[in-house]
Amino acid sequence: MVKVTAAEVNKLRQATGAGMMDCKKALVEAEGDFDKAIDVLRKKGQKVAEKRADRESSEGAAVAKINDANTVGVALVLGCETDFVGKNESFLALANELADVAINFNTKEDFLAADFKGMTVAEKLVEQTGVVGEKLEITAFEKLEAPYVGQYVHINKIAALVGLTKEVDNAETLVKDVSMQVASMGATSLSYKNFDPAYIASETEARIAVIEKDNIELGRLGKTLKNVPQYISMAQLTPEVLAQAEADAKAELKAEGKPEQIWDKILPGKMERFISDNTTLDQEQCLLDQRFIKDEKQTVAQYVESFSDVAITDFKRVTVG
């Protein structure tokens, strides 16, 4: 039997992350050849990967990386099978090392084929599957480029990226705050203008049906009924719709006997309420229309406007599981 030194075992451990006994066995099997020992460990990883191919990588770590110029960002999830492995320091270190590589590639496919310390990223994942005994894979990959990019990672479970049209004073604060909003509130679109009309139509019908069904039960229990909106997105509030809403509000004020000279003080609040009641989809899914989590008296759009002439270009979000 070939004798291997502690230094050789340690060198292999540093290169692969495998356990001490696994490294020693691999070196013995490879008759002391370092490269062959790595290949032995890789083959072990392939066998483990084949056995665990049908497992779900529902746990893991979400990480983000921004380049030095703050113009490119990448967010990814290194998935594994258990939360125990997902919180391991070595696993988190690997996820961050992978992000350092990922930032140089535009697609997940190109990233997986990229070099990672003498092997491809895909091969590294197989190798580490053998090391930790769980299926490892990249379950999410997003990249964002903009004149200024920032990020926020929430306890390695959610990672968000936000791009600005330009760098401004306190840009780092702005992108971090908005990235926290993305991570926390899970917007799916930047603006209601990006919604497909067919989607808005089907979602309107579905939401109204749910509220009407709820109202039947509330009525039966003698409780206050929910407001049934006519619309759910600003995309539906055409000038004609808003004009009719204003006319209805004036008719309501007249019926209530409110003096016409004070209508101008009351109408803005009524119109604001009408818009709020009829843009629930936007408030849930559109980043700029959501209430800002740090100050719910304003929307995200209003918070962004509080900075100098700058706008959000796009955002990305990845989550574990």
pLDDT tens by residue, 144-175: 999 999 999 999 999 999 999 999 999 999 99
Give the pLDDT band (50/70/90) at residue 51: low
Q: What is the pLDDT of residue 52?
A: 66
What value does the mean pLDDT take over residues 36-40?
A: 78
pLDDT greater at residue 146 or residue 26:
146
Judge whether residue 49 has pLDDT over 60.
no
Q: What is the pLDDT of residue 285?
A: 95
Judge whether residue 225 has pLDDT over 70.
yes
Q: What is the pLDDT of residue 34?
A: 80
Give percent of the chain with pLDDT exceeding 90.
73
Which one of 1.10.260.40, 3.30.479.20, 3.40.50.1820, 2.60.120.560 gives the CATH number of domain 59-188? 3.30.479.20
What value does the mean pLDDT take over residues 95-104?
A: 97
Sign of CA dihedral 85, 87, 92, 98: positive
CA distance 286 to 153: 20
Judge whether residue 70 has pLDDT over 80.
yes
Judge whether residue 53 has pLDDT over 80.
no
Give the pLDDT band (50/70/90) at residue 242: very high
pLDDT greater at residue 321 or residue 159:
159
Q: What is the pLDDT of residue 116?
A: 93
pLDDT greater at residue 197 or residue 127:
197
What value does the mean pLDDT take over residues 181-193?
A: 95
Which range (21-30, 46-55, 248-257, 279-288) has the least confidence?
Answer: 46-55
Q: Which residues contact 151 (CB under 8 A, 6 or more apart)?
A: 64, 65, 66, 73, 75, 159, 160, 161, 162, 175, 176, 179
Which range (120-129, 155-164, 285-294) has the least confidence?
Answer: 120-129
Q: What is the pLDDT of residue 81?
A: 92
CA distance 222 to 226: 12
Give the pLDDT band (50/70/90) at residue 32: confident
Give the pLDDT band (50/70/90) at residue 229: confident
DSSP string across 206-266: HHHHHHHHHHHHHHHTTPPPPP--S-SSGGG--HHHHHHHHHHHHHHHHHTT--GGGHHHH
pLDDT greater at residue 50 or residue 18:
18
Does residue 241 contact residue 231 with C-beta atoms inside 8 Å?
Answer: yes
- CATH superfamily placement of domain 6-51: Ubiquitin-associated (UBA) domain (1.10.8.10)
Q: What is the pLDDT of residue 45?
A: 62
The rounded mean pLDDT for the chain is 90
Which amino acid is residue 231, in one-letter code?
Y
What value does the mean pLDDT take over residues 229-236?
A: 93
Looking at the chain, the domain(s) classified CATH 1.10.8.10 span: 6-51
Q: What is the pLDDT of residue 1?
A: 62
Judge whether residue 135 has pLDDT over 60.
yes
Looking at the chain, the domain(s) classified CATH 3.30.479.20 span: 59-188
Give percent of the chain with pLDDT exceeding 70.
95
Judge whether residue 54 has pLDDT over 80.
no
